């Protein structure tokens, strides 16, 4: 039997990867950084309103050229892993 939704799935995946690649090219993170450091990061002093929040925004580092290349390469793996 034919899978009627396969074409929709593949085109949706390609569109998603295209959007993710665009974000990466513009230096915006879509996944966690590949490099990991085994260290304890100091927490900033929290303002009173931050203590009330469910989450505290934590800025990610600027994406290096090498990290962009790796992240872009990973996007192809998303497509090939599903096929």
**Could you give the angle at the alpha carbon of 59 between the alpha carbons of 41 and 36, nearest 5°?**
50
Residues 29, 55: Cα–Cα separation, whole Å: 18
pTM for the model stands at 0.71
Segments forming the whole domain that contains residue 1: 1-35+64-83
For residue 26, tell me if it sits in a domain. Answer: yes
For residue 59, tell me if it sits in a domain. Answer: no
Per residue in 27-75, pLDDT (tens digit) is: 999 988 777 778 887 888 889 998 899 988 888 889 999 999 999 999 9
| No. of helices (H) and no. of strands (E), the chain | 3, 0
For residue 18, tell me if it sits in a domain. Answer: yes
Q: Would you say 73 and 80 are in contact if contact means Cβ atoms under 8 Å apart?
A: no
Domain total of the chain = 1
6-25 vs 65-82: helix axis angle to the nearest 10?
A: 180
């Amino acid at each position: 039997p034919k899978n009627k939704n396969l074409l929709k799935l593949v085109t949706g995946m390609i569109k998603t990867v295209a959007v993710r690649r665009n974000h990466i090219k513009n230096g915006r993170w879509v996944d966690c950084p590949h490099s990991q450091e085994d260290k304890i990061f100091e927490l900033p002093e929290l303002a009173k309103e931050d203590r009330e929040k469910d989450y505290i925004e934590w800025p990610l580092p600027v994406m290096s050229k090498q990290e962009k290349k790796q992240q872009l390469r990973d996007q192809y793996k998303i497509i090939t892993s599903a096929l």
